[in-house]
Amino acid sequence: MKLEGKLKELQNVELEKPNSVFSMYLNTDPADPEGQGSQWRIQLKNGLNSFENYLERSDDKEELKNFRKVRKQVDDYVNHNHMKFQKSVILFASPDQSVWFAESLQMRVRTEFFWQESPVTDQLYQLKSMFPKLGIILVQQSQVKVIEAELGSILNTEHYELDIDTEDWRQHAGPRPHSDTGKGGKNLQTDHFDERFKANQKRWYKSIAPKLDKLAKDHGWMRIYIAGDKDEAKDIAHYMNKPIDKLENRNILEHDELKVIEQVVA
């Protein structure tokens, strides 16, 4: 999600009656009593019914027709995506679909519904301020993983591995390869690697720091977190020019990426 651009688009929306924009902040967090089970479905249904009943009483047939178009869009989206919902859903929709934004997020929201000429973006701006675009750098010896996230959702993941022979950091797509050494040779090879890595650690981390600084600049990270062995994380932070917001002394490079975001950003 490219949030900055989307927020600017939403800010510029100003419709005229009988058109309006439906704005929805729905708490679907299963760990929260407000969002447990089917409770969020009941809240959504009640919210939609409330607007529809009001428009029926107002006798504005054109606006009622428009709202029902939007309601169908919302119902279709929920029916097709509810199994993938995380802690919340934020949605904006207009009858002619000129406005459409729907995202399930890892961040909890306060359930609210609006039907008016402009999108209500207050909570979205608050979330953006609390959970801006960030980079999480995970380091574990010759492995460096970068997780780029916004509003608790993963935007991009990059994995770098040091080639000991060429001393170059190579970027990998997908799971990193595991070397398979014969019985008896693995421990000797590992011991030799550990010794060589410790002897060259600072120099090798210094060589990848400019790549990480460039990622941070090009992608507009507002915060940077580093996690790994204490000395390794400190070395990466030392050689980067960008300020580091938080250092975590734990090896979580192999952990689930969404769990990493929860652990590091908490």
- Give the E-state strand segments of 53-212 in sequence order: 88-93, 100-105, 112-116, 134-140, 143-150, 153-163, 168-172
Which contiguous run of DSSP H or E holds residue 210?
A: helix 185-219
* Angle of CA points 149, 211, 203, to nearest 5°: 125
- pTM value is 0.79
Q: For residue 1, which amino acid is it? A: M
Domains of the chain listed by start with CATH number: 3-130 (3.30.960.10), 134-265 (3.30.420)
> How do the pLDDT tens digits run along the chain, 266 residues long?
567 788 889 999 999 999 999 999 999 998 877 655 678 999 999 999 999 999 999 988 999 999 999 999 999 999 999 999 989 999 999 999 999 999 999 888 999 999 999 999 999 999 998 889 999 999 999 999 999 999 888 999 999 999 888 889 999 865 554 444 444 445 556 666 677 777 888 999 999 999 999 999 999 999 999 999 999 999 999 999 999 999 999 999 999 998 998 888 76
Is-contact 74 48, C-beta < 8 A? Answer: yes
- State residue 265's pLDDT score: 75
- State residue 266's pLDDT score: 66
3-state secondary structure of 174: coil
Residues in the chain, total: 266
* Angle of CA points 127, 129, 133, to nearest 5°: 90
